[in-house]
Amino acid sequence: MKKIEAFVDEVYHSVGGNREEIEELKSEMKNHLLEAVHELKKEGKSEQEAIEIAIERFGGEKEMRSVVGKLFNAQKMFAKSVLYCSVVFLLLSLSIFGFVWQYEEQHSHELSVIATQIADELEGKEVVSSELEKEVARLVESTDFISEVSIYNSKNIRTEGENYVSYNTDLMKPDYQYKRIVWAPEWLAHDFYPYGNGDKEWYVEMEHRNFGTFGSYVLLVGVAIYATLFTIWATINAYQHRRLNAGWVIAFALLNVVGYLLYVLVGKRKITAQ
């Protein structure tokens, strides 16, 4: 049956991939051909005729080589596409989260500067003057994220303890308040948070738009998609290496890259032991 072995070897001659998997596929093809030859010999064909007919029915050498090559290439391309998509989702979500975080950090700094400027203008004053009201309006309008500024006399809302100072603005009307509408689309999952800055005379509270929730959602979804696609890619690789089992799938899903590194290390140890 050397002709069958030569045929199978030639079909898989230029196929790249896991050698163990290729040897198993070659063995399966040889068995199918041998079974076909056996059946043909029962029908009265000579061994040579049976081999030629079996090979012809199975497909010519060139045709089979093309089919096998395309199959392995398709598997490789699909696995690579899954891996690339997972990395793209991860990098994209990290980039968006990083941009939002930097954006909010910049706004946090601006809030601190504006609150300090207002507090400096209030220092030593007993009432909020019309000039200060104009200055507050100017400072707020110079930004695109502050929606409200409220100024309170500290003695009306301040509570001091041994180790703490707190300001309760819920039950008191501000001595002065400036409001405006800022751009805040619902789909960006925005929130409005208070920012307070106070001393013994005055307390300044500013309500500002924040997209931190949106950034967290994007990161969470991106990491979830990445983890799912990475698990699929790792599972495909384990299947191609004939080492797929439920334990490895769980390791890929829960440990991600660490799980796959464990899979690779275990594979190397098996090869070394052999």
pLDDT at 257 (0 to 100): 92
pLDDT at 72 (0 to 100): 66
pLDDT at 168 (0 to 100): 92
pLDDT at 138 (0 to 100): 94
Over residues 237-258, the mean pLDDT reads: 88
**Is residue 258 domain-resident?**
no
pLDDT confidence bin for 146, thresholds 50/70/90: very high
- Domain enclosing residue 207, as ranges: 101-216
pLDDT at 62 (0 to 100): 54
- Residues with Cβ < 8 Å from 198, sequence gap 6 or more? 119, 152, 154, 158, 165, 167, 204
pLDDT at 132 (0 to 100): 92
Better-scored residue on pLDDT, 67 or 234: 234
pLDDT(194) > 60? yes
Q: Do 40 and 53 meet the contact criterion of CB atoms below 8 Å apart?
A: yes
**Is residue 241 domain-resident?**
no
**Is residue 85 domain-resident?**
no
- Nearest partner of 151 among 87, 114, 196, 218, judged by Cα: 196
Over residues 26-35, the mean pLDDT reads: 74
pTM of whole model > 0.85? no
Same domain, 126 and 205: yes
Work out how many domains the chain is built from and give that number.
2
Same domain, 108 and 51: no
Q: Do 58 and 32 meet the contact criterion of CB atoms below 8 Å apart?
A: yes
The values of phi and psi at residue 154, to 5°, are -60, -35
